[in-house]
Amino acid sequence: MNTIPYYIVDVFGEKRYAGNQLAVFRHASNLPQELLQTIAKEINFAETTFIGSDEQVDGGYNVRIFTPDTEVPFAGHPTLGTAYIIRQEIEQKRKQGLGLAADSGGTITLNLGVGQIPVTVADQQELWMKQKPPQFGRTVDPAVIAGILGINAAELDPDFPVQEVSTGLASIIVPLRSLEAVNACRLNHAAFEAFLATAFRANILVFCKETVQADNNLHVRVFCEDSGFPEDAATGSANGNLAGYLLKYDYLGASELRYRVEQGYKIGRPSLIHVKASLKDSSYDINVGGQVHPVARGEWIID
């Protein structure tokens, strides 16, 4: 019987059983893509990641990310959660085997579909990833998005556009006037699929300045095209997209930002996402961070 090790972590939560769930598998380089997709479907989390091997390639670790339905080139919480496992289960244990002391920081690079993404370890459980510069796509008619979200178009902030933004995985950024409007959103999947069929593949991120917790700065919900996961608990990639949007349109009135985002409250997985971002001479620097908490480990039977 052949097995490979796997781990479950919660990402962007302030404790276990909050934030976004992730399964991470090691020693996956020789497994066929069909099997990787089947395993991701069996796990049935929003994403599952597979580390090719414990050895680096071109200065980074080869990692593939799968939803239950498809492979994706980038996603935020899988990047941070996988980097945590690489650090704890590969790099630190390798040092222990050599009789070396474990370190408390450092950088881990993941080779993803979008290219190399560096992840900085701030302490034992907080990690930060540097995202690709944002690409700004088409704007969307607010009335169309309001119909998809099941709210009145008057709930959208008229001073800012509804626009597609991507730092590797696209989001449609939707500014709303209030927390009440954010909570009222109910995704109409039929309308969303009809829209995507004639436009572009993206999730929808709605946000406002009003928050549940007073020490947070923005409240966010992210709706996905996958009907099995209509809402995401914590979305690093989409919050990186949002950071680019906030800078481009001077939404927070500054070119250097550091703020806290709350997400996942409506689905019982409260999450906290930290963002550091700046815009200088048309150059974007976007970093998204949060905590990672280990939940489980085991062996997966592959034949």
Q: Is pLDDT of 229 > 80?
A: no
Mean pLDDT of the residues in the chain: 94
Using CA atoms in the order 148, 151, 153, 155, what is the torsion angle rounded to 10 degrees? -130
Q: Is pLDDT of 33 > 80?
A: yes
Mean pLDDT of 79-92: 95
Instruction: Categorize the per-residue pLDDT at 89 as very low, low, confident or very high, splitting at 50, 70 and 90.
Output: very high
Q: What are phi and psi of 234, to 5 degrees?
A: -160, 130
Least confident of 37-46, 98-107, 144-153: 98-107
Instruction: Categorize the per-residue pLDDT at 201 as very low, low, confident or very high, splitting at 50, 70 and 90.
Output: confident
- Burial of 17 from C-beta contacts in 10 A (0-12 / 13-18 / 19+): exposed
Q: Is pLDDT of 227 > 60?
A: no
- Could you read off the pLDDT of 139-187 as tens digits, one per residue? 999 999 999 999 999 999 999 999 999 999 999 999 999 999 999 999 9
pLDDT at 230: 83
pLDDT at 104: 64
Do 82 and 181 belong together in one domain? no
Provide the CATH number for the domain around residue 277: 3.10.310.10
pLDDT at 220: 98
pLDDT at 175: 98
Do 121 and 29 belong together in one domain? yes
Do 113 and 158 belong together in one domain? no
User: For residue 128, what are the contacts with CB-CB under 8 A and spacing of at least 6?
Assistant: 119, 120, 122, 274, 276, 287, 288, 289
Do 213 and 157 belong together in one domain? yes
Asked if 47 is an active-site residue, the reply is: yes
Q: pTM value?
A: 0.93
Mean pLDDT of 28-40: 97
Which region holds residue 205: left if phi is over 0, alpha if psi is between -120 and 50, else beta?
Answer: beta
Do 167 and 241 belong together in one domain? yes
Distances (CA, A) of 13 to 18, 242, 246, 265: 5, 19, 23, 11
Do 151 and 169 belong together in one domain? yes
Do 158 and 89 belong together in one domain? no
Do 89 and 176 belong together in one domain? no
Residue located via tokens 């990692």: 63
Do 97 and 172 belong together in one domain? no
Q: Which domain does 59 fall in, by range?
A: 3-129+291-301
Do 228 and 159 belong together in one domain? yes
Distance between CA atoms of residues 177 and 162, nearest Å: 13
Distances (CA, A) of 154 to 157, 175, 187: 8, 11, 17
Q: How many domains does one find in the chain?
A: 2
* Beta pairing, strands 71-72 & 135-139: unpaired
Do 155 and 125 belong together in one domain? no
Q: Is pLDDT of 100 > 80?
A: no
Do 190 and 67 belong together in one domain? no
Say which of 47, 89, 155, 225 is annotated catalytic: 47
